[in-house]
Structures are given as C-alpha cells and as structure tokens.
A and B are shown apart, each in its own frame.
Chain A
C-alpha cells in the first residue's frame, strides 16, 4: 500500500518553510544574546568594582549613556537605510548620499572657520542640536519635494542631484579646512569622525522621541514597504499610491538620518553594512522581519567597535574607523560567499 507523507499546508508566509522560520528565530535570538553580552561587557569591562556592588552600578550608570546613544544610532541607521533602499529600489546606496553628512561636515567646518576654536563649542547645545536636525530634514525635504513632485519627478534625478549637492558642500568644507590653522583643524578633525562620545546626554530627551516616532512610523508601514520593494509599476498595480508612499518614507528616513548624524557624526558605511548583512541573515522580503535583524546587527557592530576602540586602542569611541575596516571585510566575505546582494 502506498502511504503518502502528509503534505505541509501550502503557505505564502514571508518565511515559507519551518526550516527558514527556525533559522530566522535562531539567528535573531543569537544576535540579541550577543547584543546583551556586548552591552554588559561595555558596562562591566575594566570596571574596578566587583559586579553587583553599589559602586559597580554607579560606574555602570555613567557608562550607560553611551549604550543608549549606540542604541539610538543603531536603530536610526538600520531602519533608515533599509527603508531608503526599498523606497529607491536600489540596494547599493545609502541615505547618506542625500547630503546629510556633507551638510553636517559643512556646518561643523564653517563654525570653526568663522568662529575659530570657540566655534566647536558654539554649535553644541540642545537648541543647536535641534537646529542641525531641522536643517538636515529641511534640506532633504526641499530636495525630495522639489524633485519628486515636479513634472519631471524622477527618483534617479533626485539621487543624482543629492550626490552632486553633497559633493559641492563637501568641497566647500574641504576648502575651508585648508584655510584653518593646524590647531583649529585638529579640533575640527575630531568632530568629523563618527564617534559615540560626541553625543551630549542633554540631546537624548529630544533624540529618543524623534527616532521613536520616525522609526515607529516606518515599522508600522512595513507592509507598504514590502510592496514598494516590488518597484513602481507592480506596487501601483497592487493599489499603492507610489509617489505618496515614497515621499512619506523618505521624510521619515531623513528624520532618522538627521538625528543620528547630528548626534554622533557621519557613519557613512554603517547603514549600508548592516542593511546588507540583515538581508542575508533574515533572507525574506518582509520588512517586519528585516527591521529587527538590522537593528540587532547594527547594535552589535556598534558595541563591538566601540569596545575595541575604547579598551584596545584607547581611542574613546571613534567607531567609524573600525566599522569601515572590519565591516568592509565582513561585507566582502558575505558577498563573495553568497554571490548575490
């Protein structure tokens, strides 16, 4: 007698097979466990007091600020990059090419150029932080609004104009840097590396809600992002108002990028790296699964590089160097082994 194996129900879920589901949740749990371990490591390593004592917690609390900053930056960069790549239908660009970082560099450089070393302190403070965020979001909105809603509204043109404006701002900054005295330049250079220790705890009460609202809005919109990833034509045919969805997505992306950049400085490669890794790890089209994976990956990358920079090289939080070095290597490894983006 022929006994057929009971067939698995035909399912169109984002993680179609039990094997894929197991793989996803195992990976996510591992990443979260690693995150917790790294976070604890940052609090406890080199902590002169024994774990659990009152003194330990006092020191840990002082270090916890950088942990919160890392969490915000990881959340902002990961979600912004994944959403941006979906909205632009392109997986090899990051939102930083829209000129956020050039704008940040230009603001920092011109403050030192015009005000001298005192300028660096002049642009620190809550209102200055909010002003920088507003400036970056405004810049992005102007670009999106003008280029996407016009008669020749076109994403590729918008990206190109963004890159060119960014390059222009970058050259102006470089030119001003040439004219600085060596000591002024030294002060400025420290600000131009992405660094966790740049963040002033006073910014956090503003950065956290901004990031939470923008990130939460994108997360809640995950189903529409799934459709956007099919491209303009397919998404429209399935009933999405493509232009509106793209604009809304890019608006929230600009808030996230502005918060992150104003908080810790340029992190050019981070978003790209974690988004690419998250696609590989999550192995699904569904943003509801990609988002948690990318945030966890970003948190691990940031805590890991912060730890190495702080405790191995004693370079107080200049994480972008490690991210670009090690992250680039990991990225190439993953890409060459899998052979696809």
Chain B
C-alpha cells in the first residue's frame, strides 16, 4: 500500500494552488456578485493546461492520470466553485464523451481546441421534464435521408451558452428498443447550426460565475457523421460519462470543504471573544476537529475511487460513494464555517457564504444525493 502521491501529482497540486490563489481568488467574489462568466479566466486555465488533462497527447491533451485531474479540480474548488465547475464540466462532460466515444475524425476535429481552453463543449442530458428520470427525455431525432432532424430542449447545461461555447453533445430519442424502452443516440451539435439556440440562465444561487444554459432545438439538421460513436449507444455513453463526472463533482466537494475549513480555522485562531481566540473554546474546536477528520476520510475515499479507475478496475460504486460523501461533507463544513464566522459569515466580504451557497448544487447535479444512494444500494445487493 502506498499513500504517497507521485512527484508529478504533488507538483500539479502546488502549481494549480498557486494559480488559483493568484489568478482566481482575487476575482472570484466580484464575478460571483456580478453573476459573470469570465472568458479571460477560462483561457488562463486553458493556458496552464487544466483542460484535457486525461486526454492523450495525440489530441493535444496532457496525458495525465485521472487522479491528477481530480487533484486539479480539488485545488480550483478550494478557492472558487464556479471556476471549478467550468473545468470539471469542460473535462468530464465536454471533452470526456468525445474522447471516449467519438470517432477518430470527431476527436481530431474538436479535441485540440477544447483541450487548449479556447473552446468549451456542453453535455445536453437534463430536460425540463427529465431530471433524475433521464428516461423521460422528450428530445427526439428522426432520420431524414443522410441527416437527422432534432427537436426538443435541454436545461441546466454548463458551458453551453458563453462566448467560448463551440457546441454540445445532445442525447435524443431515436427509436424504441425491442424491450419497449426508448433507444437513445448522442449527437454533436455545433453552435451556429440553424434552429439551435442556446440561452444563458441567470438568477442562480450558486456557481454564479459559471455558464449555465437552456438549449432549444427546432428542426435542427445534423449530418450522419455527427452521431457520437454509434447510433443507439446514447444511454450507455451518458451513464459512463456520469460515472467519471461523479469523481469531479466529488473533487469539488472535497476542495470546497478544504477551502471553507481553512477559512474557518484561520478565523477561529484570530477572532478573540471572552479574552481568548475562539478556537480555544471546545464548541468551536470540536467543529473544526470534525471537519479535519471528515475531510481526511473524504480525500481517502475519493482518491481510492480514482486509483481504481486509473487501474482499469470497476469504480462505479466508489464513485457514487465519493460523490455523495464529498458533496454532503461540504454542506456540513460550509455550515460550520459560517457558524464559526458568526455575523461576519453572513457577509460577502468573508468568502464562506459563497461556499455555503455553491455547495448546494453538489447535492443535486450529476445525480442527486438520493440517486447516489440508489446506486450504492444496488451495488450492495438491496
């Protein structure tokens, strides 16, 4: 057994942390306040190599293991959930499906731009009436000669309506399986295709500096060779993408927990009440001790899931566990952090309120906590 990270992984953590502290931390609060996506920050993240980390050099990726990518997301999330969302969605949901399931031609066409951070790609799964019940999707694609005609809409799609958005992977119903269940196929839809409209969504509680979109498809004609991989593979592709995606959401929970905990610890050491720093009071000290304990547990669980994936072992159960545990942990830690900050914790000047808000998505996105519990319970034979 070996709990040490490799020298490269250590270096990645150090450099990404340095980058997050000097390039993201100074603007995070303002972008959150203005609810503004920053193409400039995204490009900078691309320049240091935060997109395409697990993609082979052949497509201009960084050729790193999955754990390295997870450490990078963790370090960004330690400072800002919104930018971590741009990176996590950009890699797991944007680049991932094309890299894992795309044809050689599709990979060569899209991946180099996406890996540089010059372009972002969305992942269109959720619909207004199909959230956890992904089988309820109403978006359809009908074959017409050499083309497919796409109709329907998608909602809550990250990275799909900003100036860097190049396109989206869209899951659509393309028929019925012999079992009577719908057959799904994924399509790569480029921005600018007639009939395709992406509208940014505003008034969000969390991830306010990340780009979230509603997508509308009105008789959108897609060429046959824009089918992702093979027709009928859509459902399997989506499930596999979500398994990997869960690890990056977990990384956001872990990094966010770490950031909120560090802020609370620092504040508790400096804030004096009744003649001593409040960290000397057991009520505060025990909260911090619990945070430290649970963060340690969360990190071990998440890194183990990544280790399994990096060793081509099955990791789906551990990914669901890590996603669930890290997401909910950040809720507990951010709650403690705000409580320890007292009245100041409610003010925007102290970042813990942003962590408190940003956390809530993690219980909901890419499979709610309830869905994770279903996944885990199935794996243990319930």
Please say whether chains A and B are actual partners in one complex.
no
Question: Which A residues fall within an 8 A CB radius of B?
Answer: none
